[in-house]
Structure 1
Amino acid sequence: MNTIDVCTENKIHEETINFAKSNMISDKDILKLSELFKVLGDATRIKILFALSLNELCVCDIACIIGMTQSAVSHQLRILRNLRLVKYRKEGKTVFYSLDDDHVVNLFKQGLEHVKHD
């Protein structure tokens, strides 16, 4: 282990610790956030979210864009829908998907900005 990675003096900063502990998010929120990031950790779902960040799309179009079967895309969309990342609407026999709200748009854009940042 590199000495830069650890404190060379074992000193507790109680004020900082107390502040962090008193503002810590709940275990329930930690689990929900962890699940969100797990779902976002899949390349196929990232492709779907990116495509939906550009435009509302039907399942057929998403399948064509990412080169998967409609069945496989539908499975991925179900996972995204369960976490309220995408929403859908039916128009006749066609199902259109879009990002659920501005939070999802911003989360996706900020993540993309972060990975592109030098």
Structure 2
Amino acid sequence: MKRQAPELSQQYIQPLADVFKVLGDPTRLRILRVLMNQEVCVRDIADELGMGQSAVSHQLRILRDARLVQFRRDGKTVYYSLADAHVFTLLDVGLEHVAE
């Protein structure tokens, strides 16, 4: 059964393209993969990816500006997580697609 393409109005084309631009960076995809499992602090993301905290923070700012991640503070520690279930689904389906 063939699926019908959803209507894509002009007001959504550029924002959607912007999301895909943000997702087009391998480092940001690696960060998002870490966040698919749980909420994580910047230091732990940096350690897991073998990157500096400053570089991770820069990428997280881009992801936050694109509304793909959210954060919360606990004292001086900042924890990040995926913004919502849509982001998880987008990544999960993308990973499934490239694994086929």
TM-score, normalisation: structure 2: 0.91
Q: Once superposed, which parts of structure 1, at least 4 consecutive aligned residues long, lie more than 6 Å away? A: none
Q: What is the SS of the residue equivalent to 1:98?
A: strand
Q: Return the letter of the residue paired with 2:91.
A: F
CA-CA distance at 1:85 after TM superposition:
0.4
Q: Distance in 1 between matches of 2:7 and 2:95?
A: 26
Which one scores higher on RCO, CA 8 angstroms, separation ≥ 6? 2
Q: Distance in 1 between matches of 2:8 and 2:79?
A: 35
Q: Deviations over 1:30-75 (max 9, x none)?
A: 1011111111010000000000001110000011111111111001
**2:8 corresponds to:** 25
Q: Return the letter of the residue paired with 1:88.
A: F
- Structure 1: any 5+ residue segments left out of the alignment? 1-19
**2:51 corresponds to:** 68
Q: Return the letter of the residue paired with 1:77.
A: L
**1:17 corresponds to:** none
**1:91 corresponds to:** 74
Aligned positions, number: 96
Tell me which structure has the larger Cα radius of gyration: 1
Q: Distance in 2 between matches of 1:54 and 1:113?
A: 16
Q: What is the SS of the residue equivalent to 1:97?
A: strand
- Structure 2: any 5+ residue segments left out of the alignment? none
Sequence identity, in percent? 57
Q: Distance in 1 between matches of 2:7 and 2:90?
A: 21
TM-score, normalisation: structure 1: 0.77
C-alpha root-mean-square deviation of aligned residues, in Å? 1.3
Q: What is the SS of the residue equivalent to 1:84?
A: coil
Mapping of 1:14-53 within 5 angstroms?
A: 24-53=7-36
Residues 1:59 and 2:45 aligned together: no
